Amino acid sequence: MGKTQNWLCGECGEVFGKWSGKCPSCDAWNTIKEFHEARISTGKTKLSAGRDLGAAKNAVRKTEPQQRIATKIDEVDRVLGGGFFPGSMILFGGAPGIGKSTLALQIFLKFSEKTKTESEPTALYFSGEESVEQVLHRAERVTKKFGEKVNQIFSTSSLEDICETIAKNSPALAVIDSIQMVGTENSSFGQLSQLRENAEILLKLAKSTGTTILVIGHVTKNDEIAGPKILEHIVDVVLRLEGEGTNEVRVLSSPKNRFGSTLEVGVFEMRGSGLAELKNPSEFFLAERAENAAGSAIAVVREGSRNFLLEIQVLTVKTNFGQPRRTAHGIGLSKFHLLLAVVSKFTPFKCGEFDAYCSVVGGMKIKEPAADLAICAAILSSRAEKEISADTVILGEVGLSGEVRSVGNLEARLVEATKLGFKKAIIPRTRGKLKIPAGLETTEVKSVLELVKMVFKN
């Protein structure tokens, strides 16, 4: 049977009938490469990648009413929206060394605790990167009760073998580490088109067996392998594990989730015994806070259904020559530029001739504008060399005319701050009646200029 010829964009993963220099879908240049559909057979099950997914659709309809299966790792379940859906395919991405294999193994170990008989494994683990001994060695660090799992761990890079084993056992969960390291017999590893083929084969397998397939995918720092991006289109759920190189906090998020929210995050700490859930992330983030340091402010940031207290640090120093330098970790650089401009324009503290560095302590990334005012306060505090009182949280979105706007879920955020012992809050002017938690003193500000007075009043 002849192969169908297609063209695949390495940037956005779109497939076309003919080649072109510029991708019609994402406008990237020179990213379109030839791509052949793959067909492989695994014993009784015939699986083919490509466009004909009619059979798979039927399978989806059949599995939909099924219940989610919780991983029993709370931070993972929260991000997933309660657990895995049977028959779904999950891509688990992240930079090398961040802890993907470790967390995937922990999920596998939790899952296989449910095994009733040895002949009916509930979870299988396939590693194309490590030998069974290496996986076991890792498992040994994570848990003591791994011995009987030996039969459920395989070291193979053959997609045929993996498919056959999954089709034969129909486990609830199969982990594949990593999609870049598995391939069919007659294909070369690591190629874009091959990644896509592999993913489509696995997706079909997941739908037809009802097995949840968790595939690990590497992302290089500068996204050199566009692979995971292509895969994101195919899979049901994308999980991402991130962290700053120098500290142990790891944040799990879900940029794509067909079955749940994409807003929730799970927070872990990398320890000698694997990834430990951080039940009280705010406490952890604030633990090393320097007392009475200028340039530090506390924001309350909402991620999904939880509120985190995060320390924002800003350092401003007079520029020696040329253009001022600006860097930002944990917030977007353009946001930092914008807030520096607002502070310069609407307060007496000009920043134009100052280098400015911003960092969110603990490696969390702030995506919402509710931390704007705290960032402005940290800038002001550093410029004025005057510390903000340590028991104060600062909340508010800042507009381009220096006005302070309201934030959502203000009351819940204040409750969280009170729980952690904060006594004062600077908040946006509110029209309606607010339920302020007992013991918290609030001050309303309506502009960044007012913030200057409030922050430094004591």
Residue 180 touching ligand TYD (CB under 6 A):
no
**How far apart (Å, rounded) are the C-alpha atoms in residues 293 and 389?**
9
Q: Which is nearer to ligand TYD, 141 or 279 (CB)?
A: 141
Q: Closest approach of Cβ 281 to ligand TYD, in Å?
A: 19
Residue 273 touching ligand TYD (CB under 6 A):
yes
Range 411-442 burial, b when 16+ CB lie within 10 A, else e: eebbbbbbeeebebbbbbeeeeeeebbeebeb
Per-residue contact flags (x/-) with ligand TYD for residues 81 to 120, judged by CB under 6 A: -------------x-xxxxxxx------------------
In the complex, the residues that contact Mg ion under the rule CB under 5 A are 101
CB 100 within 8 A of CB 241: yes
| Binding partner of 99, given Mg ion, ligand TYD, none, CB within 5-8 angstroms per partner class | ligand TYD
- Apex CA 68: angle with CA 65 and CA 71, to 5°? 165
Q: Which is nearer to ligand TYD, 42 or 180 (CB)?
A: 180
| Binding partner of 24, given ligand TYD, Mg ion, none, CB within 5-8 angstroms per partner class | none
- Apex CA 364: angle with CA 363 and CA 368, to 5°? 150
Q: Closest approach of Cβ 223 to ligand TYD, in Å?
A: 16
- Of 13-21, 205-213, 270-278, 353-361, the segment contacting ligand TYD by CB under 6 A is 270-278
**How far apart (Å, rounded) are the C-alpha atoms in residues 78 and 120?**
28
Q: Closest approach of Cβ 271 to ligand TYD, in Å?
A: 6
Q: Which is nearer to Mg ion, 216 or 374 (CB)?
A: 216
| Binding partner of 50, given Mg ion, ligand TYD, none, CB within 5-8 angstroms per partner class | none
Q: Which is nearer to ligand TYD, 239 or 364 (CB)?
A: 239
Residue 428 touching ligand TYD (CB under 6 A):
no
| Site for ligand TYD, rule CB under 6 A | 94, 96-102, 138, 141-142, 270, 272-274
